[in-house]
Amino acid sequence: MTVLALDTAATVCSIALVSDKGNWYTEIDAGLRHSELLLEAADALMKLKFAPRLQEVAAVACMKGPGSFTGLRIGFSAAKGLCLALAVPLLSFSTLDCAALPFRHWPGAVMPIIDAKKRRYFTALYQGGARRTEYLDKSAEDLALLAAEELRGGTERILLTGPDAAALYAALTGLLEPRLAAALHVDPNGKSGGAKALAALAKQSLSERGIQAIENEVFSGPLYLRKSDAVPPSPQPPAVL
């Protein structure tokens, strides 16, 4: 079974193609050019020697969010178009879940970090591959309190990963006492794309539930933990004079 995974949640655009033949992956530091490069890069990946072709794709996966509002919409639009053209199901998974997945054997807690702007961060707390908190939209000060509570409660170390882990690490080291700050670690590859983990979650879901049991998400949309600044305010009723 072949899965095509598209990750456009952050500045690095990544595509993974996973099948019984093998795995293929590419990523581009796309900046604001996801719409120009995504399908072109996916097409180039499927033209590689021995790689599955488009007609062999059994499901398409994309990032659900949180992440860039524009990037998530581009990913969903591309994935839905492919699913409708190929008559295959769409699966979507949390960007934070995908970022934490490679560290399910980390001996401590894992916090994927995505810049939420306005001096806040999207994150969640994971341990042993399981998410322990809801998805969070917090300030650095709030996350310093969360990290301190974890470390004082018996967690020996916390790994910060994801595209903005280094930025939060710099903030937390100034907010935590040195003993606690020393227990923080930063994933040096946190800015890398998440399409590999996205494809792995999609393959796992298909394996466990079967393609016929998968609820097609072709009419679903991104997970926004916060309203976009571009969303206009709700119209107000006219004043009664």
CATH of the domain at 65: 3.30.420.40
Domain-embedded: residue 222? no
22 and 76 together in one domain: yes
Report pTM: 0.90
101 and 90 together in one domain: no
Helices (H), the chain: 34-46, 69-86, 95-100, 140-152, 165-175, 178-181, 195-209
20 and 77 together in one domain: yes
35 φ, ψ (degrees, to nearest 5): -65, -30
Residue 118 is part of which domain span? Answer: 97-186
Which CATH number goes with the domain that contains 154? 3.30.420
Query: Strand order of the sheet with strand 90-94?
Result: 22-29, 12-19, 2-7, 57-65, 90-94
The span from the CA of 177 to the CA of 174, in Å, is 8
7 and 91 together in one domain: yes
Please give the DSSP secondary-structure letter assigned to residue 216: P
Per-residue pLDDT of the chain (241 residues; tens, 9 = 90+): 899 999 999 999 999 999 998 999 999 998 889 999 999 999 999 999 999 999 999 999 999 999 999 999 999 999 999 999 999 999 999 999 999 999 999 999 999 999 999 999 999 999 999 999 999 999 999 999 999 999 999 999 999 999 999 999 999 999 999 999 999 999 999 999 999 999 999 999 999 988 887 877 877 889 888 765 554 444 444 444 3
How many structural domains comprise the chain? 2
146 and 72 together in one domain: no
Domain-embedded: residue 21? yes
